[in-house]
């Protein structure tokens, strides 16, 4: 019934590892997909994806959208303890309404 499903729910890795976070969704008609990082306070924006197959990159983080298979992934390479956070994905529906997934809790151990 959830429109946006994130996996895994939580993940523990060691510094230097590479992680892949998944976001699958059911809606086929949407404006864009967003990724957020939430540490202790408010979510902060990471990426907006609108087109399938085009990778967005920012430092060690990258993300891609697959509109055919209805999913997006967020990759983090060479993880650091500062990457520990909850990662949220959200669909932007028409009408500018966002539907969030439950999030993936990432913990990076030193």
Partner 1 sequence: DAGITQSPRYKITETGRQVTLMCHQTWSHSYMFWYRQDLGHGLRLIYYSAAADITDKGEVPDGYVVSRSKTENFPLTLESATRSQTSVYFCASSLLRGGFDTGELFFGEGSRLTVL
Which residues contact partner 1 by CB under 8 A? 6, 31-32, 34, 41-45, 48, 88, 90, 92, 95-103
What would the two tokens of residue 42 be?
């408010």
The residue among 73 and 86 lying less far from partner 1, judged by its C-beta, is 86
Nearest distance from C-beta of residue 94 to partner 1, angstroms: 9
The single residue listed with the structure tokens 């994806």 is 49
Residues 85 and 103: their CA atoms lie apart, in Å, by 10
Nearest distance from C-beta of residue 13 to partner 1, angstroms: 21
The answer to whether the CB of 105 falls within 8 A of the CB of 20 is no
């Amino acid at each position: 019934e959830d429109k946006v499903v994130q996996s895994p729910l939580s993940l523990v890795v060691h510094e230097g590892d590479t992680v892949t976070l998944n976001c699958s969704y059911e809606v086929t008609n949407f404006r864009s997909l967003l990724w957020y990082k939430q540490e202790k306070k408010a979510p902060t924006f990471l990426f907006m994806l609108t087109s399938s197959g085009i990778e967005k990159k920012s430092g060690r983080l990258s993300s891609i959208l697959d509109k055919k298979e209805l999913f997006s992934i967020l990759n983090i390479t060479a993880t650091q303890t500062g990457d520990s956070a909850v990662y949220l994905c959200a669909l932007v529906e028409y009408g500018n309404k966002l539907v969030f997934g439950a999030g993936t809790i990432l913990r990076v151990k030193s």
